[in-house]
């Protein structure tokens, strides 16, 4: 992961070797919006500490980037190991996470450390930790509290020094109440929490990220860098971005490929037009009041009064 200055603010990105076109994760984060700057301050305070961290945020908003920065800003010399809990096999979850001894499985002549062992001395990032089976959650908590793991088929535990950074896009407190997440593990994780706002909640970051993606794809495709027109900027800021930063990246990539001039226009973004504001609706209704029949005028006046626009 790289951290450098852009638009006068720090930018978090993945190294090129870790960028996959099939990934749904966010590829970049900036700290321009006031909410993002506050998040960065909280991040810098948590990073040097040894406590576990729970990052809460929507899919595609950049949770793994925050986790990588926590590892980078800590004094841990081991690896950053990223695991998607939804991709762990329910049958072999124990072995995948904690490892196994030689001969534990048919054809396994050697032992494996598992994800936990691989992160020894470093940071283990568990994305969507709520997807871990409950029995594994219990073992995970024991490993964190006792600083040791017992590999499948092993007779003795192995000491480990792992910092856990977990992420979730759901409310784990509700999962605890429903009996789907281990309560003690939740409280263990809650000691350090970071809330990553959705992109629509940090509007100050949208145009900076759009400019960044425009520059990246223009360079990659050997194309001139177009400007983003004022109308297109307005549309970008008004969109709700359900897919967060990943969606913004795709929109800018598409716009660069279909634009023909030196500007990105609203039609190049392939986004729905922003809904009319109350002021625009009021102006349109008042126009109708000046041209309709007497009965229509009275009906519209009653409607405007009931809605508070008149």
Q: Is the pLDDT of residue 310 over 90?
A: no
In a domain, 97, yes or no: yes
| pTM metric for this prediction | 0.79
Band (pLDDT 50/70/90 cuts) for residue 111 is: low
Q: Rounded to an integer, what distance in angstroms lies between the CA atom of residue 198 and that of residue 247?
A: 12
Decide if 9 is inside a domain: no
- Same domain membership, residue 130 and residue 51: yes
Is 11 within the bounds of a domain? Answer: no
pLDDT grade for 293, boundaries at 50, 70 and 90: low
Is residue 41 located within the same domain as residue 158? Answer: yes
Quick one: angle between helices 244-258 and 206-220, nearest 10? 50
Domain limit, last residue, from 195, 222, 240: 195
**Strand, coil or helix: 289:** helix
pLDDT in tens, 122-176: 999 999 999 999 999 999 999 999 998 888 777 788 888 999 999 999 999 999 9
Higher-pLDDT residue of 113 and 266 is 266
Among 195, 225, 252, residue at a domain's last position:
195
Domain interval for residue 294: 278-307
Does residue 293 sit in the same domain as residue 241?
Answer: no
In a domain, 19, yes or no: no
> Residues 49, 158: one domain?
yes
- Asked, for residue 255, whether it belongs to a domain, the answer is yes
Whether 259 and 156 share a structural domain: no
CATH code of the domain in which 244 resides = 1.10.8.60
Inform me whether the pLDDT recorded for 35 exceeds 70: yes
The number of distinct structural domains making up the chain is 3
User: Is residue 21 included in any domain, yes or no?
Assistant: no
CA distances 59 to 45, 63, 176, Å, are: 24, 8, 21
Asked if residue 20 is part of any domain, the answer here is no
Statement to judge: residues 40 and 149 lie in one domain: yes
Q: Answer whether residue 301 shows pLDDT above 50.
A: yes
Predicted confidence at residue 158, as pLDDT, reads: 85
**pLDDT the model gives residue 11:** 75
Residue 23 is predicted with a pLDDT of: 44
Q: Is the pLDDT of residue 2 over 50?
A: no
CA-CA distance, 310 to 291, in Å (whole number)?
17
Helix, strand, coil % (nearest 5) of the chain? Answer: 45, 15, 40
- E strands present in 137-178: 148-149, 158-159, 163-168
- % of the chain residues with pLDDT over 90: 59
């Amino acid at each position: 992961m790289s951290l450098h200055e852009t638009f006068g603010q720090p930018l978090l990105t993945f190294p090129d070797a870790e960028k996959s076109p099939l990934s749904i994760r966010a590829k970049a984060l900036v700290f321009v919006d006031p909410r993002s700057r506050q998040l960065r301050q909280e991040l810098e305070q948590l990073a040097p500490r040894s406590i576990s961290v729970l990052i809460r945020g929507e899919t595609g908003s950049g949770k793994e980037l925050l986790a990588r920065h926590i590892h980078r800003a800590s004094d841990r010399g081991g690896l950053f190991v990223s695991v998607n809990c939804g991709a762990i096999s329910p049958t072999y979850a124990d072995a995948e996470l904690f490892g196994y001894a030689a001969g534990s499985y048919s054809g396994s002549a050697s032992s494996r450390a598992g994800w936990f062992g691989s992160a020894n001395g470093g940071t283990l990032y568990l994305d969507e930790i709520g997807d871990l089976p409950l029995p594994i959650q219990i073992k995970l908590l024991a490993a964190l509290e006792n600083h040791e793991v017992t590999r499948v088929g092993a007779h003795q535990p192995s000491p480990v020094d792992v910092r856990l950074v977990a992420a979730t896009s759901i409310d784990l407190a509700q999962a605890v109440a429903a009996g789907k997440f281990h309560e003690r593990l939740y409280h263990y994780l809650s000691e350090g929490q970071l809330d990553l706002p959705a992109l629509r909640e940090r509007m100050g970051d949208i145009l900076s990220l759009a400019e960044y993606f425009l520059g990246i794809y223009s360079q990659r495709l050997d194309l001139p860098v177009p400007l983003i027109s004022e109308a297109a900027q307005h549309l970008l800021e008004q969109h709700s971005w359900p897919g967060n930063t990943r969606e913004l990246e795709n929109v800018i990539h598409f716009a660069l490929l279909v634009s023909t001039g030196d500007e990105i226009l609203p039609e190049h973004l392939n986004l729905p037009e922003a809904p009319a504001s109350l002021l625009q609706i009021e102006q349109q209704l008042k126009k109708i009041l000046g041209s309709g029949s007497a009965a229509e005028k009275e009906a519209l006046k009653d409607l405007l009064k009931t809605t508070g626009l008149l």
